[in-house]
Amino acid sequence: MVAFLLVSSIAYSQDAREIMNRYLDTVSNGNIENWNKIKSMYTESESYYSQQDFDQKVNFYKTDKPSFHKHYTFPPYGSRNELYSDSTFSELQSTFYFLKDKTIIILGKSPPIINKNARKPSEFSSIHTPVFISNLVNKSSAIEMMGIKEFPLDGTWCYQIKVTTKGRNYYFYINTETYLMDYWTVNQEEDLNSLVKYYNYKRIGDFLMPMSYSAMRNGFVYNWTNHRKIELNPEIDPDIFIYKGERE
């Protein structure tokens, strides 16, 4: 209780914007502009998703029925996600092209699904989560300290920061000890029935990046992703973002 009161008094002496900026500095090696140095990214990951798990309690590290991904990001050209059924990346199931003007989805041997991108990207959008959050903070109409919240699931205390912009309320939960973002959600009040959790932070180059994230609803995890590898600025052949009209 004494520790909680001490943390509370310190928290309220800090401005909500200062706490958010401290998070951004912590993951960005002191300068959010450092993310501009990342020109391309390659990741290998495993993930799990089940609609049924909306109503079931699932462990963060659930290992049955996972899928495996290779993801290439090269902003001038777009991004490409390859979905595999095995951890050795030998059995390709689906390929997703996320391009500037269209999205192409190839599911197995089915004909490709091609959708033109009708909507313009949001002014807050970025391939990097900290940059997206920085854009929100800089262009928000209000930033408020809502208090300190305990998350019994992992025994942490977080500053609850509300960022309001364009009719949406974003709630960010910044760890009181590490100043890393543990959770966030959109348009949720005290019930917090939907949350995204970031964890297993690891230093990659000049950045602190979460190697894992999970989506929860009503306290139950229905989706998680673990990155096995993240490479910054690898050489990527632009041709892999060109759909040639036939399954590769």
- How many other CB atoms sit within 10 Å of the CB of residue 95? 19
pLDDT tens, position by position, 113-156: 998 876 666 667 788 999 999 999 998 889 999 999 998 878 89
Residue 179 lies in a domain: yes
pLDDT higher than threshold 70 for residue 189: no
CB 227 within 8 A of CB 37: no
CB 98 within 8 A of CB 79: yes
Q: Tell me the β-bridge partners of 98.
A: 79, 103
pLDDT score for 132: 93
Average pLDDT over residues 153-171: 89
Question: What pTM was estimated for this model as a whole?
Answer: 0.83
Residue 96 lies in a domain: yes
The domain tally of the chain equals: 1
pLDDT score for 64: 57
Whichever domain contains 176, its CATH number is 2.50.20.10
Residue 32 lies in a domain: yes
pLDDT score for 5: 41
CA-based Rg of the chain, rounded to a whole angstrom?
A: 20
Residue 217 lies in a domain: yes
Q: Pick the residue with more confidence: 195 or 180?
A: 180
pLDDT score for 105: 93
H helices of 28-159, in order, are 129-139
Q: How many CA atoms lie within 13 A of 33 on its CB side?
A: 0
pLDDT tens, position by position, 14-66: 699 999 999 999 999 999 999 999 999 999 999 987 755 555 554 544 445 78
pLDDT tens, position by position, 231-246: 999 999 999 999 876 4
% the chain with pLDDT above 70:
82
The CA distance from 171 to 180, in Å, is: 14
Residue 125 lies in a domain: yes
Torsion of CA 80, 85, 89, 93, to 10 degrees: -40
Residue 247 lies in a domain: no
Give me the chain's average pLDDT, please. 85
Q: Pick the residue with more confidence: 219 or 31?
A: 31
Residue of 156, 190, 147, 146 lying closest to 176 (CA atoms) = 156
User: What residues contact 197, with CB distance under 8 A and at least 6 apart?
Assistant: 60, 182, 183, 213, 214, 215, 216
Residue 248 lies in a domain: no
Residue 246 lies in a domain: no
Domain coverage including residue 232:
2-241
